[in-house]
């Protein structure tokens, strides 16, 4: 295993619990669609967006570690950042807003 791969994997140790929470919450929200209606749907879509943001951030981190280890200049890596970072942040923002809407949804069936 290369040094860049080892360094990348070490950074993921603290990020994996977030992925687990997002996936479990997504599954729970999907299973509750019948009983909670729109609130569960908003939560499911929101946790889907949060998961996508997590994946985009992870992909970018991997690119950053491997490309800099190969000797790629930071200016070239910045081109990847210009794509992945805003996409990940937007995905996380939308996901957080949708989950908040689900939490405060009026008239959710119990």
| Residue 2 pLDDT > 80 | no
Buried b / exposed e along 85-100 (16+ C-beta atoms within 10 A): eebbeebbebbeebbe
Q: What does the pLDDT look like over 44-62, one tens digit per residue?
A: 999 999 999 999 999 999 8
Domain span including residue 64: 26-103
Residue 97 lies in a domain: yes
Specify if 20 maps to a domain.
no
**pTM for the full predicted model:** 0.86
What tokens does 69 get?
Answer: 């280890």
| pLDDT score, position 65 | 86
**Total of domains in the chain:** 1
Helix, strand counts (H, E) of the chain: 5, 0
Please state the rounded mean pLDDT for residues 74-89: 92
Query: Is 7 contained in some domain?
Result: no
Average pLDDT of 87-97? 97
- Are the C-beta atoms of residues 43 and 29 closer than 8 Å to each other? yes
Distance CA 44, CA 108 (A): 14
């Amino acid at each position: 295993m290369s040094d860049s791969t080892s360094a990348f994997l070490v950074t993921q140790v603290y990020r994996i619990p977030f992925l687990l929470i997002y996936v479990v919450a997504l599954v729970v929200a999907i299973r509750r669609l019948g009983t909670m209606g729109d609130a569960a749907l908003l939560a499911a879509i929101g946790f889907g967006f949060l998961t996508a943001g997590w994946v985009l951030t992870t992909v970018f981190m991997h690119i950053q570690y491997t490309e800099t280890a190969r000797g790629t200049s930071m200016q070239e890596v910045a081109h990847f950042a210009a794509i992945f970072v805003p996409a990940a942040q937007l995905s996380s923002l939308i996901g957080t807003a949708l989950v908040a809407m689900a939490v405060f949804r009026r008239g959710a069936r119990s």
